[in-house]
Amino acid sequence: MGIEKNLANLGIVTTCLDKVLNWSRKNSLWPMTFGLACCALEMMVTVSARHDIARFGAEVYRGSPRQADLLIVPGTLTKKMLPMVLRLYEQMPEPKWVIAYGNCACTGGVFRTYNVVQGIDQYIPVDVYMAGCPPKPESLLTAIMMLRDKIDKESLKNRG
């Protein structure tokens, strides 16, 4: 670890600001505790010991949207629930990301009825779509990996 040793002596690191921000953001995603339907159960399983979402630094589930930067929309979104979801999304501080988890959140899934929103992306921007009914916990991990890649490519110029 030659570089680190030398740098430690100097006390200075030179890097690009984008890289530091992205590195810290992608390794500490804080999702919001937010369950809608069946997919929320698989989201809970992802937190449990077997899949252990903590390996990717995303285990700090927050009850308040003001402390979260990742909104996982797990499950069927109804028209009655929609205003609350929008409000929660708006309360989250920038930068924030959204994972549409499961068929219902992506497109409405099998529920093409009078009270179901046919896809959350009609109302808020979605970063990662994950299909499945419900997707397996591994899929959520995949989604988080994909999101990490995406965050890595972001720049201050384009997004706060």
Partner 1 sequence: MNRQEIIDRIQGKVSSLIAGTSQGIDYPVVYVNKEHLIEFMKFLKEDEELSFDLISDVTAVDYPDRNPRFDVVYHIFSIKNGQRIRVKVPVGDGEGVESVTSVWRGAEWLEREVYDMFGITFYNHPDLRRILMEEDFKYYPLRKDFPLEGIEE
Partner 2 sequence: MTVEGNETRKEMILNMGPQHPATHGVLRLLLHLEGEVVKKTIPIIGYLHRGVEKLGENRTYIQNIVFTDRLDYTASMSNNLSYALAVEKLCGIEVPERARVIRVIMTELQRIAAHLLWLGTYALDIGAMSVFFYCFREREKILDMFEMVSGQRLTPSYICIGGVRRDIDDKFLEALKVFCDTFNDYVKDYENLLTKNPIWIERLKDVAVLSAEDAINWGVTGPVLRASGVKFDFRRATPYCGYENYEFDIPVGTKGDCYDRYLVRVEEMRQSNRILKQAMKDIPDGPIMADVPFIAFPPKDQVMNNIEALIKHFKIASGTFQIPKGEVYSSIENPKGELGFYIVSDGSSKPYRMRIKSSCFVNLSALPFMTQGCLVADLIAALGSIDIVLGEIDR
Q: What residues line the site for partner 1 (CB under 8 A)?
A: 79-80, 112-115
Q: Phi first, then psi: what are they for 89, rounded to 5°?
A: -60, -45
Q: Give CA–CA dist 5/37, Å, rounded.
A: 50
CB nearer partner 1, residue 78 or residue 142: 78
Nearest approach, Cβ of 79 to partner 1 (angstroms)? Answer: 8
Q: Give CA–CA dist 145/138, Å, rounded.
A: 10
CB nearer partner 1, residue 63 or residue 114: 114
Nearest approach, Cβ of 27 to partner 2 (angstroms)? Answer: 23
Q: Are 22 and 151 in contact (CB under 8 A)?
A: yes
66 Cβ contact list (under 8 Å, min separation 6): 91, 92, 93
Q: Which of 26, 70, 134, 139 binds partner 2 (CB under 8 A)?
A: 134
Using CB under 8 A as the binding rule, whether residue 69 contacts partner 2 is answered as: no
Nearest approach, Cβ of 67 to partner 2 (angstroms)? Answer: 12
4 Cβ contact list (under 8 Å, min separation 6): none
Options 3-11, 23-31, 46-54, 140-148: segment touching partner 2 (CB under 8 A):
46-54
- List the single partner that 46 binds among partner 2, partner 1, none, CB under 5 to 8 Å by kind: none
Using CB under 8 A as the binding rule, whether residue 31 contacts partner 2 is answered as: no
Q: Give CA–CA dist 137/156, Å, rounded.
A: 32
**E-assigned strand segments in the chain:** 70-74, 97-101, 128-130
Give me the residues that bind partner 2 (CB under 8 A), please.
Answer: 33-38, 40-42, 44-45, 48-50, 63, 75-76, 78, 80-81, 84-85, 88, 110-111, 113-116, 133-134, 136
